[in-house]
Amino acid sequence: MSVLVLVEHESGVPRDASLSTVTAATKLGEVHALIAGSGAEAKQAADATAKIAGVAKVLLADNAGYAHMLAENVAPLVAGLAGGYDAVLFSATSVGKNVAPRVAAMLDVMQISDVLSIESADTFTRPIYAGNAIATVKSSDAKKVLTVRGTAFAKAAATGGSASVESVSGAGDAGLSSFVGAETSKSERPELTSAKVVVSGGRALGSSEDFHRVIDPLADKLGAAVGASRAAVDAGYAPNDYQVGQTGKIVAPELYVAIGISGAIQHLAGMKDSKTIVAINKDEDAPIFQVADLGLVGDLFQVVPELTAKL
């Protein structure tokens, strides 16, 4: 069995989520990685991907039309290559979630989203109802199209492999869409979905200023990524890419610190697989305490600065 993985990359480096997807793919068969991109960065990413343990071959599609991973351009490329594979895997990232269903529909395949485990070549588990239930599903499609939850699979080693890099070509710009611009949060902190420690703030922070004044120093002390509940993002205390939850990012760090977060099921869906959960909340009946390993009832504006100082 052979498997095609769309490997996402940034600044010439394969993304962590893609390393996890490679691990998932190795459970199904021989792994070929597709790098779609433009110019020197794509070439660099292809060379780096060739070193990932478990990757047997790298396909490099270098075209200006793939620079921004527009689904209209990338999906026909992937669908065109899919003929030679039994399965096509994507990461459940904003890129994967955007492109994969477009590829699946082009192939007339019913995609399986957010795969948590691979039971066999045609049977997978995935979360439904905000992770309140886990479904085991069997696909009758000849070809499988999956998106893979990064936190459910270990990252493949970034070195140790020595795959060949082969150029492939696609149609490039489909002429349906164009990239206008991006506002990306620049941060020196680790990436949220792969950080070892995550410090998240909720609505109780009360304002954007207080969110940063209270949360950031603790995150700095712990070398943590910063997350937020939906309530905090909706209120404008934190940007959208901080959101942890059912429809935001899924995280499973070694340590998750929830500050002023009550623990709505949609939030728990995004973090309950964390190894150790610490909750700080002034409401002792907050649902977050039902999943927290370590809880502290108190006023976050006193407790968190004290914690930051003493760590």
CB of 277 to other proteins, least distance (A): 8
Specify the 3-state DSSP secondary structure of 131: coil
Binding of other proteins by 244 (CB under 8 A):
no
> How big is the site for other proteins, counted in residues (CB under 8 A)?
90
- In the chain, the amino acid numbered 184 is T
- Among the residue ranges 20-28, 81-89, 161-169, 217-225, the one whose residues contact other proteins (CB under 8 A): 217-225
Region from 25-33, 57-65, 71-79, 160-168 binding other proteins, contact rule CB under 8 A: 71-79
- Rounded CA gap, 279 and 290, in Å? 10
- The 10-49 site mask, x for binding other proteins (CB under 8 A), equals ----------------------------------------
Q: Per CB under 8 A, which of residues 102..131 are in contact with other proteins?
A: 102-106, 108-114, 123, 127-131
Beta bridge partners of 148: 91, 115
Tell me the closest approach of the beta carbon of residue 231 to other proteins, in angstroms.
Answer: 11
Cα–Cα dist 106/143, whole Å: 12
Distance CA 72, CA 173 (A): 8
Residue 77 C-beta: closest distance to other proteins, Å: 13
Select from 37-45, 156-164, 204-212, 226-234 the region that touches other proteins (CB under 8 A).
226-234
- Among 187, 107, 167, 182, smallest CA distance to 142 is for 107
Which residues, numbered 186-215, are part of the site for other proteins (CB under 8 A)? Answer: 193, 196-197
Residues 127-156 that bind other proteins (CB under 8 A): 127-141
| Interaction mask 278-297, other proteins, x per CB under 8 A | x-----x----xxxxxxxxx
3-state secondary structure of 30: strand
At 301, which amino acid appears? F
Is there binding between residue 299 and other proteins (CB under 8 A)?
no
Identity at 252, one-letter amino acid code: A
Question: Residue 204 has which token pair?
Answer: 């109780």
CB count, 10 Å around CB of 301?
15
Pairing of strands 13-14, 2-6: unpaired
Six token digits for residue 57: 């071959």
Complex with other proteins: residue 83 or 181, whichever CB lies closer: 181
Residue 254 binds other proteins (CB under 8 A): yes
